[in-house]
Amino acid sequence: MKIIGIDPGTAIVGVGVLEKKNGKLTVKNYQAITTPPIDKEKRLKIIFQKLNEILIQEKPEIVVVEELFFSKNVKTAISVGEARGVVLLASALNNIPVLELKPVEVKTIVTGYGHAPKSQVEYMITRLLGLKTPPKPDDVADALAIAYAGFLKMGGLL
């Protein structure tokens, strides 16, 4: 059984794939979908195409994505929201249910502290998933943390 965590953005989308097999949770794959600094519509198209390929290849049972959160930068929030829309669309077109988690939920589940810095999330997800080195870029570490939090939020029953 597979679960995919996605950290949406327009320049970088973090993707983390976890699999529960024989009672053990393992990292199956992780990667960053990157887009060049071009028109927004073209960036969203690239994200959709690459994410759709990943969903078709991996065939996850669920996609976990962070809910939109912003405090000051409305422009960034809008572009992240558009990237989230692409994630939701790709998931829907592949008939994959989506679980949305608040960033504070992900951090609380992974680190025990809802306002932990990115470095702490990266450190903990590296240890929790038994990785030799922290996933880079940090968007990928965030995607793995999102997948892990989603797995635990669902009771670890995949």
Non-local (6+) Cβ contacts of 11 within 8 A are: 34, 35, 37, 43
Q: Is 139 annotated as belonging to a binding site?
A: yes
- Residue 142 among the catalytic residues: no
CB 18 within 8 A of CB 26: yes
- 66 marked ligand binding residue: yes
Instruction: Reply yes or no on whether 138 is catalytic.
Output: no
Name the active-site residue from 66, 122, 138, 142: 66
Three-class SS state of 14: strand
Structure tokens at 151: 């797995």
Q: Which of 7, 19, 122, 138 is catalytic?
A: 7
- Give the rounded distance of the alpha carbon of 82 from its chain centre: 15
Q: Which of the residues 19, 122, 138, 139 is marked catalytic?
A: 139
Q: Is 58 one of the annotated active-site residues of the chain?
A: no
Would strands 62-66 and 98-101 be described as parallel, antiparallel, or unpaired?
Answer: parallel
Write out the binding residues for Mg(2+): 7, 66, 139
Write out the binding residues: 7, 66, 139
Supply the residues annotated as catalytic. 7, 66, 139
